[in-house]
Chain A
Amino acid sequence: MKKINYKIFLLGLAIFSITSCVDALLDKKPISSFSAESFYRTQDQAKAGVYGVYNALQSAMHTNFSFWGEGRADNVKIKHAGETTFLQNNTLTASITSADWTALYTLISRANYAIANIPKVFPENDATGNQLIGQSKALRALAYFYLVRVWGDVPLILEPYTETGQDIFVSRESSEKVLDQIEADLIFAAANCVEKFNTTNDRIMFNKGSANGLLTQVYMWRKKYNEAITTANLVIANPLYSLVTTMSAWGNMFAASYSNESIFEVGYNDTQTNGLRVLYAIGSDAHYTPSNKFMASFEPGDLRRSYIYDETQADPKAMWKYLGKGVSDQIATPSKQNIILIRLADIILLKAEALTKLGGSANISAALNLLVPIRSRAGITPTLLTEAQAITMYGSVENAILHERSIELCFEGHRWFDLVRTGKAISTMQPINGLSNEKNLVWPISTSTIDKNPNIVQNEFYR
């Protein structure tokens, strides 16, 4: 029996040695994904996290940039029932697609993760770390900018959700507070983002110029004209940006992307596609074609017309802008053109508008001068409108600029916000769809959002 006792001892030892590594055995990390603990541990991961935020922007802008920016305005003509009809006829309900803000908050959540975690993997005040935070903050600001413009007051969430037990039922915050945060984020981004990447990333990722460009749009929304002029000047002076000079380059700006005029566009490619084709150019099935009002609003000789739609047709079946002049709407090439959110012409026109708002003949004159390169590129004469001409043609200089925006930036997702920003939404849309109530200018909040958060109160008009 002695021999056996010895064996028991050995066995005991063996078993003990096995049990002692239980913790190691049970500590299983994901192989094909990251666990919450294992991500944001390195600088490369921080970069991947920021790309993940851009990825969310691709989804958020996919088709909604047009539903939000054009769907309720006067430049588009609708082709079939559903979402586009609800928007154009102003019969919005809480169950329509564009009433759902999920994609924007997904972006915000990813940005919050990045903003909270990037400092952990970079030394304090590290330039690379700060520019990554800058990009994340600019992206977050962009999402919130859409949120306040579309829904008004929205929940303001600036920290990531990392564990159960956090307050998930956040109430809506006043849009002014949200806009303050947007400004702060963009000022940080303008200060910390890179001057330039020296690659095509300068068009599709946030640098100082694009942060200032977005800030200009925000200031204009907030009617902070002096600030807008300051940031617009920074953008206009930025050597990265120049107006394309020929009309074919103008067409290519949308069809081929990455032009020198572009300040910020959302990148897409063959596999990461967007809704441009469905929106503007799939034969008779395209969501939108140019409205009659829009087609009639061109000044004589405007060369842009033939790059925007097939002017030979009385009722064009498709929009050529984006998909390219003469695009065949039958061959389903991928919808891979970038969606331009900010470009130099937009900033120049915003500056002109700001100058007009500030008033005074010097400013008005400067504003009308800003239109010259845009009008001359489009082949419109006179290239320089006098104040009197502008008033004769459009009723006011401001209206002349707004009209210029309507043509130059058509279908890029600006029109509705321009109308709301300048207080012309009701006067413009009432004859078309009866829009009459200021409180109707925002969207309803989606049913699924309200169902899952008892603290969210529906916008008054839609209760």
Chain B
Amino acid sequence: MNYFNLDKQKLIIGFCLSIIFTICQPFVTTASAQNVTVSGKVVDVNNAPIMGVNIAVMGERRGVVSDLNGLFTIQADKGKVISFSCLGYKTRELPAAELTGGNIVLQDDASVLDELVVIGYGTKRKRDLTGSIASISSKDLESNPVKDVLTAMQGKVAGVQIISSSGAPGSSMQIRVRGASSLNSGNSPLYVVDGIPIETTSTSLLNVDDEHGLNPLSYLSPGDIESIEVLKDAASSSIYGSRAANGVVLITTKRGKEGKASINLFSSFGISNITRKLSVLNSRQWREFILEGYRNYDLHMGLAKETAVHYTVVDSLNPVNSGDGDWQSLMYNTAYEKQVGVNISGGTKAMRYSLSTSYLDQEGIIRNSKYKRFTTRANTEFDASEFIKVGTNISYTYSTNDRVSAGGMGNRSMVVALLTRPPTYALNYPDGSYLGYLNGKRNPIALAEECLHLNTSHRVNANEYLEISFTKWLKFKTSFSIDFEAQKEDEFFPSTVDYRVGYNTGAVRVAEYFTWANENYFTYNQSFGEHNVSGLLGFSQQEWKTDVTGLNGSTFVSDDIRTLNGAGTISGQEVNVAYGHSMASFFARGAYDYKGKYLFEVNLRADGSSRFGKNNRFGYFPSASAAWRFSDENWFKPIKFVNDAKLRFSVGQTGNEAIDNYTAQGTFITGRNYLTNAGVAPYQMPNADLSWETTTQYNLGLDLSFLYGRVDFIFDAYIKNTKDLLYDVPMPNTTGFTSVINNVGEVQNKGLEFSVISKNLVDNFKWNTTFNISFNKNKVVSLPKEVLVNGYIQNGSFHILKEGEPISTFFGYKYKGIYAYDTDNVDQLRHLNSTGKIFKGGDVIWEDIDKNGYIDQNDRTIIGNAQPLFVGGLTNDFSYKNFSLNVFLQFSYGNDIYNNVDYYRNSIFSYNNVSTEFYYNAWRNQGDVTEYPKVVRNDPMQNEARVQSRWVEDGSYLKVKSATFAYEFPRNFVSKFKLQSLKLYVTGSNLLTFTNYSGYDPDVNTLSSGLRLGVDYGSYPQSRTILFGLNIGF
């Protein structure tokens, strides 16, 4: 396959050429003012003339009406704009200069059902869909400015749940299309940008202490996006075969249209702040409470002599220990962001272009976290001849991300550290240097300020294509694309934050991800009277290559030299690895409909993947779907208020091939050396039968359009059964292997989705509402027996996997309250075993599940579930004249959050600060009725340390996710300044949250494993942002 080996040099040359080409694009000059007589004919999409169209010169009182044959004549200045409006049709506005006597086509304003949607390898009218596809248009994106694609989708699409992993700029999100279906192979959808499946696994090379991952789609500027489609059911996604089990997200970037150049400049400026702070004790309260915790410990242990506390607790005169700091205020800044960009698009008869560039500079609310992104894109298309079209989409993105470790309890984690840091600790020593490490605690401010974790990324995405129209009904398209990303991460932890004197560490990682893809397909489209037939036949191939190099260093000569040459010790010899993966696929589609009334479609994809075992090299993924537009049946005609009604059904299979590249082949691993002799050892047993996970999905849908397109209603119900889950099945250790990955296990998702799009008011005052809600029920159907212990798999600290229960089920002890009196423990429940201590007043009342009289780990039970009952969003668009207001609400209901931060905030384990609730409400005397136990440091009765239901909170919320108020200057006003348009807006994001959740924000998910959702372990908090923006069209 040498002829596909592109080297970097060629890539760069190609890219430079495209830039030159971009610069040489001629700008079309505006015509001079001149009065002309314009005439023409107004027709509908079927070329039938429309009578009674109001034709007016904008900004003037002149106007005419089209005649019976749709003809009209009007006088206008050449620089003016003429509007065509008529009931039942979409209003069109055209510059007088562009009216050259031809037909003016007005689109039916009947329904959104007539919009084109992007599907796998093509487009389709929404009304002709037989599967389940949701779409977001550039209009939706514009009315609600965001900085990345995933945020743009959050809450907007029925059946898609997006949870923020972190509030840090440029961080990743968990996205689930119709629930999680895999235990080990990832649950992220396949992303296809302009027809090319793109690499999205390259998130980060160095994650320390549960740091947030990086958003793999952040290389796309939302301003460049024309539409986002989510393929949800098997009928629409099975054309992507073995990568489609988690749904497919199609992203289409903006194309130029024939016409003069339109130049759009956009600019915004934003201010972010933390949404709320959590209550902590002041110095006096803290000292008092620590002593109380120590006293209670001594009493509990029956110690005669009081345990001495650390000097920092009592010595309030020591300068390092006499503060009364508000660590949250020190850590959380007001963050500023700015974004500026320009898009130029247009075209001539033979070519179309859309060029853009943008710059984003976004600070995070935690000190020293910052994301910068520079993007540039050129999408061009030429008609090389009457039959041949060629085009190219090229983008380059450069980004830097100053990252901080927020979550978890690692040495470098900040959020829990700052919430539990004693208020008395000074920020600095008297000499001004940071108080880096004191009594087991690192200084979170110093961590944020002094540590370096910089990710730098370059990404080039280039796609060249050729389209041949052999006849009107047969076309061929071939494309070749490359996706290249070079990432570098620099890390440095100075000695000032370490407990070891002069001990500093650093690391560097460099990775190159290279993907090429080639897609070739014929499309066929023909109508025979009322019979419409279409087809698709294609072949595609794709190859991925990754090369990672890294080194770690420690004991640097000083904190000032942060590159590895300054390190006293360099290690990490095993961190230079390369791996690859390839796929070759054949795909086909056939569709037939009769009068648009009976619609049928079948798809088949055959995917060959280098990851599969040699006995299963090709997987076949078929689907079939049918739809019935019963509103076109004669018996339906009398029902006037329903204009369009369609029933859809689909069934099909998709796969998940996201297994390790070489697992199936077995592995002999290097680095198993004997002194200086390089040794190799068997590491993974080959499994020639290893294959993809298979998802079979059934979808039943109903589309209704009421009141002449005023109200559209989409309903879908689905069942998704995933079997042959890839799971590491343990092997007896006598084999020399710990496990072998095998296809076992089953997961089911079933759910309902509703969407409503309604034009409530259509006159001067316009009001549109979009609403979506989705219910998904997830269940682990079967797990390999070998891995079950006591009937379940412990999945990290807080979750289990159990047959019959959803993924991300919380498991722990059940809290029932606090004993008010010693005598309240009538059952004489004991701690740990039959001779353990008896729980007393102020201890937690635990549920004794096995009724054996003592509380041990067999008394753990299911205490919650991170998966919501339903999620959704509600958007209201109001506009009056040139003012518009868009309010977007997002909600999630029925999901639990395991608030592990609360555990740290409500127990004394090492001179830590706690919540004021604990301080005020702790049990102190016999008879105290409270929800908080007595405070005992390192509590031997484990009232706090157990994984327990007390920390499980209702994570339901309703958020005013964003509200945008915009003013579009009148056209006649802006035309005075030779402008096409001018819009000012202000957007508030994350404005209000209605929730009972006690942490920073209920949209939280600290742990990176997709199977351990819903844990708040001190994630980077979400912020509230006010953004001022300006869009200018030239």
Q: Point out residues on A near B: beta carbons under 8 Å.
A: 4, 7-8, 11, 15, 18-19, 21-22, 24-39, 45, 47-56, 58, 100-102, 105-106, 108-110, 112-113, 155, 157, 160-164, 168-170, 204, 267-269, 272, 448-449, 451-453, 456
Contact = CB atoms under 8 A, between A and B. Distances in A.
Contacts of A39: 668, 680, 682
Interface in B529-570: 539, 541, 543
B740 interface: yes
Interface stretch (B71-79, B715-723, B725-733): B725-733
Interface string B207-239: 000000000000000000000000000000000
B674 A267 contact: yes
B679 A52 contact: yes
Contact of B686 (A8, A162, A449): A162
B505 to A, nearest CB: 17
Interface stretch (B62-70, B195-203, B575-583, B914-922): B575-583
Contacts of B672: 51-52, 55-56
A1 B809 CA distance: 64
Interface stretch (B643-651, B658-666, B746-754, B877-885): B658-666
A164 B739 CA distance: 11
Contacts of A449: 732-734
Contacts of A106: 733, 736
Contacts of A51: 672-674, 677-680
Nearest to A155: B734
Given A35-B665, A51-B679, A105 B734 contact: yes
Given A26-B584, A110-B736, A157-B734, A48 B786 contact: no
A31 B682 contact: no
A25 B541 contact: yes
Contacts of A52: 672, 674, 679-681
Interface in B738-769: 740, 742
Contact of A168 (B518, B662, B665, B735): B735
B1008 to A, nearest CB: 24
B774 interface: no
A30 B732 contact: no
A18 B686 contact: no
Given A4-B387, A168-B735, A30 B673 contact: no
Contacts of A47: 677
Given A33-B667, A54-B674, A55-B674, A21 B539 contact: no
A118 to B, nearest CB: 13
B609 interface: yes
B406 to A, nearest CB: 32
Contact of B666 (A35, A54, A100, A101): A35
A35 B668 contact: yes
Contacts, number: 198
A176 to B, nearest CB: 19
Contacts of A161: 685, 731, 735-737
Nearest to A24: B1
B610 interface: yes
A26 B582 contact: yes
B687 interface: yes
A157 B685 CA distance: 16
B19 interface: no
B292 interface: no
Contacts of A448: 733
B623 to A, nearest CB: 23
A17 to B, nearest CB: 10
Nearest to A450: B732
A58 B677 CA distance: 13
B617 interface: yes
Given A18-B520, A32-B577, 18 more contacts: A18-B541, A19-B586, A26-B610, A30-B579, A30-B667, A35-B662, A36-B682, A38-B668, A51-B680, A55-B674, A110-B682, A160-B736, A161-B737, A168-B731, A169-B732, A269-B675, A272-B673, A452-B731
Contacts of B689: 164
Contacts of B1009: none
A155 to B, nearest CB: 5
B736 A108 contact: yes
B992 interface: no
A385 B733 CA distance: 49
B468 interface: yes
B1021 interface: no
A160 B681 CA distance: 12
A264 to B, nearest CB: 13
Nearest to A11: B476
A453 B732 contact: yes
Contacts of B688: 163-164
A4 B387 CA distance: 9
Given A162-B686, A164-B685, A34 B609 contact: no
> Considering residues A21, A48, A54, which has the most beta carbons from chain B within 10 angstroms of its beta carbon?
A48
Contacts of B581: 28
A453 B732 CA distance: 6
Contacts of A4: 387, 468, 470
Given A25-B541, A30-B662, A452 B670 contact: no
A249 to B, nearest CB: 23
Nearest to B786: A452
Contacts of A453: 732, 734
Nearest to A100: B733
A25 B584 contact: yes
B608 A26 contact: yes
Nearest to B469: A4
Contact of B735 (A35, A101, A105, A267): A105
21 contacts: A4-B468, A11-B476, A15-B539, A19-B539, A22-B541, A24-B1, A27-B610, A28-B580, A35-B662, A35-B665, A36-B682, A39-B682, A49-B680, A53-B681, A55-B672, A55-B681, A161-B731, A163-B687, A272-B675, A448-B733, A449-B734
Nearest to B466: A11
B593 to A, nearest CB: 27
Interface in B470-484: 470, 476
Contacts of B730: 452
B551 to A, nearest CB: 15
Given A18-B539, A22-B541, A36-B686, A7 B673 contact: no
A58 B671 CA distance: 13
B12 interface: no
A113 B669 CA distance: 13
A19 to B, nearest CB: 6
Contacts of B678: 48, 51
B1034 interface: no
Contacts of B586: 19
Contact of B669 (A33, A100, A163): A33
Contacts of A105: 733-736
A331 to B, nearest CB: 15
Nearest to B612: A26
B679 A55 contact: yes
Nearest to A56: B681
B683 interface: yes
A45 B278 CA distance: 60
A452 B788 CA distance: 11
A31 B673 contact: no
Contacts of B736: 105-106, 108-110, 112, 160-161
B47 to A, nearest CB: 27
Contact of A164 (B580, B682, B732, B742): B742
Nearest to A204: B675
B609 A110 contact: no
A48 B735 contact: no
A22 B582 CA distance: 10
> Considering residues B476, B582, B665, which has the most beta carbons from chain A within 10 angstroms of its beta carbon?
B665
B75 to A, nearest CB: 47
Contacts of A100: 733
Nearest to B670: A33
B382 to A, nearest CB: 18
A246 B661 CA distance: 58
> Considering residues B581, B673, B674, B679, which has the most beta carbons from chain A within 10 angstroms of its beta carbon?
B674
